[in-house]
Amino acid sequence: MKLVMNTKAILGVAFFTTLSLSAASHAAPPDALAGKVKAQTCFACHGEDGISVSSEIPNLAAQPALSITYQLIQFRGQQRKGGAMEALAAPLSDQDMRDIAAYFTSLPPPPAKSGNADQIAKGQQISSTQYCNSCHGPQLQGQKHIARLAGQSKEYLVTQLKNIRSGTRIDMDGTMGSAARGLSDDDIDALATYAASLK
Amino acid sequence: MKFNKKNSALDALMLAAGMAVVGLACAQAPAPAPASAIPPTWAQGRTADGMNPSLAPNPPGISAMPADEIPVSKLKVPAGFKVELWASGMPNGRSMTESPSGTVYVGTRFTGNVYAVVTKDGKREVKTIAKGLHRPNGVVFTNGSLYVAELSRIIRYDNIEKNLDNPPAPVVVFDALPKDEPHGWKFMTLSPDGQYLYFQIGTPANIVVPPYTHATIVRLNLKTNILETVATGVRNSVGMDFQKGTKELWFTNNGRDWADENLPNDTLNRLARPKGMNFGYPFCHQGDFLDPEFGKGRSCDEFDKPEMKLGAHVAALGMRFYNGNMFPAEYKGNIFIAEHGSWNKSKKSGYQVVRVVLDSKNKPVKLEPFLTGWLEDDKFWGRPVDVQMLKDGSMLVSDDETGAIFRVSYGK
């Protein structure tokens, strides 16, 4: 058990006096242009066009905005770890995250990847029996805070599914853990090939 | 009461697949590779010709809205009452409890944190006293210790009040609870005699014949560490409180999904007998609605009835009796219930705190909105989870979407 004291929000009396003035204004809407500026650091790995430079790094183009925000929040909180993302997310505010997400979600989706036809067919079959579509959408394009899988790097998907299966990667509400638990390495390979082949 | 943790998960899996009999019989056999998995919990029981299949759960609140962005002015209370932002900066803050010194402890479901809100010289400070816990949703303070209910264990932080900036390592009190994730987070409360922790073990699915350990309310004896079942047939209760005077436990219960947009109701229930009551799940819901599938050949007469229907899919969570002296006299003994709000209704409902009035015979006779405004034009900006009465007679309401706590007071 680690004790961490890093969340300390102090609410003073002064705050309440200013509240009536500020309550009328809302959170700044996500700003893709500001996001592009804030995302400069991201480009070295994830690409300015949201297409990553390496197969172990995820494409972010056309990811649902909330799915990007949620992952950044979990990296910042060190609940999810990997690729030095914990350190990179540490200084980001919620607004930074919303802006960055707005930028990447606005980009054209990654192209469909070719793959072994048998593997793709097998992956489609497993996707159906595992109910992947019920959360990730009919074409695995993602929705709300659920990640887009279509056109994602196959290698990245394989790594993530294995990490979720082993518990190495955080399972936010138990859904992905129970979905991945029964998958063999071959199943995972086929699923990832299928998802990567979608547009 | 013993749990076989591995098998209970397996049972749940197989039961959900409709293999009720087989599942129990082969629980000891090695698990074969599943030919077909089960849908995610929220989608279980959904039929193609049933409710709108595009409906899916709301993303959980996992970040905190900055204090100056929280639109507290949108919240409405009856005339004479006032609502204010009391504390913020607690991602996913949910269940609350107040210690005798006035510290409010707050559990979470998705962020793994436990917070302490301390008021000093009129200023409020939020301290994160625990991180990395597994769904620490339940909090109880007694005898100088904070008890936290995680998904599958109860832990305790001794002498916590003097060590909020450097909390001790927790003591594991009980760690043999089932590990099913669906409905695995706990609401926890202390019995009036201080001897027992009461909490629920929710059903591990939407609609399923649960293992005998599940869909229950249980209590843990703090002296003997013995766990007992006090009620069965309770799908998932995420709010309970003992009534002053009668010392009876009242609790909310969440109805099943995908039967109908307007059925069954979430319910308010009373534990009229200390043991042996069965509230019907999965066979009968809301006391008079036979399950379309599991109700065949059964009758609702077999089961105990709820005290009140609260509305379908409103997600009635935290509930507490009002025993304070600040609100007007007609509020004395009322029940306040936080409705987290629907996700599988075409038109959203809930997203408010309601007031339940009991008559002189202790029967609920009136249900009315009390604190509203989180929902506008079928969109929500916040979701109330728990209500907690403070010693001064005011009421706190937690909101896990904004990561904030609001305070309702009367007069002045």
With a cut of 70, say whether residue B23 has pLDDT above it.
no
User: In the 8-state DSSP scheme, what is residue B61?
Assistant: P
Q: Which token pair is B243?
A: 């009534």
pLDDT of residue B112: 94
Instruction: Please report the DSSP string for B152-165 in residue order.
Output: S-EEEETTGGGGTT
Three-state SS for B101? Answer: coil
Q: What would the mean pLDDT of B161-176 be, rounded to a whole number? A: 97
Confidence band of A157 (pLDDT split at 50, 70, 90) = very high
Q: What is the pLDDT of residues A115-133, one digit of tens each?
A: 999 999 999 999 998 889 8
With a cut of 90, say whether residue B240 has pLDDT above it.
yes
Q: Are B37 and A131 in contact (CB < 8 Å)?
A: yes
Residue B140 vs residues B105, B156, B215: alpha-carbon distances, Å: 8, 9, 21
Residue A135 vs residues A127, B42, B403: alpha-carbon distances, Å: 11, 10, 25
Per the structure, the count of domains in chain A is: 2
Based on the fold, state whether residues A76 and A122 are members of the same structural domain. Answer: no
Confidence band of B36 (pLDDT split at 50, 70, 90) = low
Based on the fold, state whether residues A73 and A125 are members of the same structural domain. Answer: no
Confidence band of A27 (pLDDT split at 50, 70, 90) = low
Instruction: Answer whether residue A190 is part of any domain.
Output: yes
Based on the fold, state whether residues A91 and A142 are members of the same structural domain. Answer: no
Q: What would the mean pLDDT of A67-81 be, rounded to a whole number? A: 93
Three-state SS for B409? Answer: strand
Does the model's pTM come out above 0.80?
A: yes
Q: Which token pair is B309?
A: 């229907």
Instruction: Please report the DSSP string for A132-179 in residue order.
Output: HHHHH-TTS--BTTBPP-TT--HHHHHHHHHHHHHT-S--SSSHHHHH
Flag whether residue B182 sits within 8 Å of chain A, measured between CB atoms.
yes
Sole residue written with tokens 């009465």: B389
Q: What would the mean pLDDT of B12-18 be, rounded to a whole number? A: 38
Q: Are B88 and A9 in contact (CB < 8 Å)?
A: yes
pLDDT of residue A14: 35
Partners of residue A94 in chain B, C-beta under 8 Å: 63-66
Q: How far is CA A17 from the centre of its chain?
A: 38
Instruction: Answer whether residue A82 is part of any domain.
Output: yes
Instruction: Please report the DSSP string for B277-325 in residue order.
Output: EE--TTTEETTTEE-TTTTTT--GGGSPPPSEEEEET--EEEEEE---S
Q: Which token pair is A11?
A: 């609410």
Q: How far is CA B30 from the centre of its chain?
A: 35
Based on the fold, state whether residues A122 and A190 are members of the same structural domain. Answer: yes
H helix runs in chain A, sequence order: 13-22, 32-38, 40-46, 65-76, 85-89, 94-105, 117-129, 132-136, 154-166, 175-181, 185-196
Three-state SS for A57? Answer: coil
Based on the fold, state whether residues A59 and A128 are members of the same structural domain. Answer: no
A81, A105, A129 - which closes a domain? A105
Based on the fold, state whether residues A94 and A138 are members of the same structural domain. Answer: no
Rounded to the nearest integer, the mean pLDDT of chain B is 91
Instruction: Answer whether residue A7 is part of any domain.
Output: no
Q: Are A79 and B112 in contact (CB < 8 Å)?
A: yes
Based on the fold, state whether residues A123 and A85 are members of the same structural domain. Answer: no
Q: What is the pLDDT of residues B173-200, one digit of tens each?
A: 999 999 999 999 999 999 999 999 999 9
Partners of residue A80 in chain B, C-beta under 8 Å: none
Confidence band of B55 (pLDDT split at 50, 70, 90) = confident
Q: Which token pair is B212?
A: 């005998």
Q: Are A135 and B112 in contact (CB < 8 Å)?
A: no
With a cut of 70, say whether residue B164 has pLDDT above it.
yes
A82, A105, A128 - which closes a domain? A105
Instruction: Answer whether residue A88 is part of any domain.
Output: yes
pLDDT of residue A174: 84
pLDDT of residue B50: 63
Based on the fold, state whether residues A136 and A74 are members of the same structural domain. Answer: no
Q: Give the integer Cα–Cα distance in Å for A162 and A189.
A: 10
Q: Which token pair is B366?
A: 């009136």
CA A112 to chain B, closest CA, distance in angstroms equals: 25
Q: Give the integer Cα–Cα distance in Å for B195 and B140.
A: 12
Instruction: Answer whether residue A2 is part of any domain.
Output: no
Q: How far is CA A62 from the centre of its chain?
A: 11
Based on the fold, state whether residues A124 and A189 are members of the same structural domain. Answer: yes
Closest residue to B60, CB basis, from A26, A77, A173:
A173
Taking each helix axis as running N to C, give the angle between helix A65-76 and helix A94-105, from 0 to 180 degrees, rounded to the nearest 10.
Answer: 140
Q: Give the integer Cα–Cα distance in Å for A149 and A195.
A: 6
- CATH code at position A147: 1.10.760.10
Based on the fold, state whether residues A95 and A134 are members of the same structural domain. Answer: no
Sole residue written with tokens 């009229």: B272
Instruction: Please report the DSSP string for B237-261 in residue order.
Output: ---EEEPTTT--EEEEEPPPSSSBT
pLDDT of residue B158: 98
Q: Which of A74, A78, A174, A1 is nearest to B151 (CA)?
A: A174
Based on the fold, state whether residues A69 and A90 are members of the same structural domain. Answer: yes
Q: Are A79 and B111 in contact (CB < 8 Å)?
A: yes
A48, A73, A105 - which closes a domain? A105
Domain range for A144:
117-196
Give the residue from B124, B171, B258 with the most A CB atoms within 10 Å of its CB, the best one to mutate.
B124
Residues 43-82 of chain A whose Cβ lies under 8 A from any Cβ of chain B: 66, 69-70, 73-74, 77, 79
Instruction: Answer whether residue A25 is part of any domain.
Output: no
Flag whether residue B181 sits within 8 Å of chain A, measured between CB atoms.
yes
Closest residue to A8, CB basis, from B36, B127, B131:
B127
pLDDT of residue B61: 92
pLDDT of residue B22: 35
Q: In what order do the strands lie in the sheet with B227-232?
A: B188-190, B196-201, B216-221, B227-232, B277-278
Residues 260-319 of chain B whose Cβ lies under 8 A from any Cβ of chain A: none
Based on the fold, state whether residues A121 and A191 are members of the same structural domain. Answer: yes
Q: How far is CA B68 from the centre of its chain?
A: 28
Instruction: Answer whether residue A38 is part of any domain.
Output: yes
Domains, chain B, with CATH or none: 1-40 (no CATH), 70-410 (2.120.10.30)
Flag whether residue B60 sits within 8 Å of chain A, measured between CB atoms.
yes
ipTM over the 0.85 cut-off: no
Instruction: Answer whether residue A8 is part of any domain.
Output: no
pLDDT of residue B52: 76
Q: What is the pLDDT of residues B138-154, one digit of tens each?
A: 999 999 999 999 999 99
Count of A-B CB contacts under 8 Å: 143
Q: Which of A21, A20, A22, A61 is nearest to A39 (CA)?
A: A61
With a cut of 70, say whether residue A21 has pLDDT above it.
no
Taking each helix axis as running N to C, give the angle between helix A185-196 and helix A154-166, from 0 to 180 degrees, rounded to the nearest 10.
Answer: 140
Residues 116-155 of chain A whose Cβ lies under 8 A from any Cβ of chain B: 129-131, 134-135, 143-145
Higher pLDDT, A181 or B166: B166
Q: Is A193 exposed, middle or buried (0-12, 13-18, 19+ CB in 10 A)?
A: buried
The set of residues, in sequence order, having a beta carbon less than 8 Å from that of B16 and lying 6+ positions away, is B38, B44, B204, B205, B208
Partners of residue A174 in chain B, C-beta under 8 Å: 41, 181-182, 184
Q: In what order do the strands lie in the sheet with B171-174?
A: B138-142, B145-149, B154-157, B171-174
Confidence band of B374 (pLDDT split at 50, 70, 90) = very high
Do B112 and B136 touch, CB atoms closer than 8 A?
yes
Q: What would the mean pLDDT of B34-39 be, rounded to a whole number? A: 65
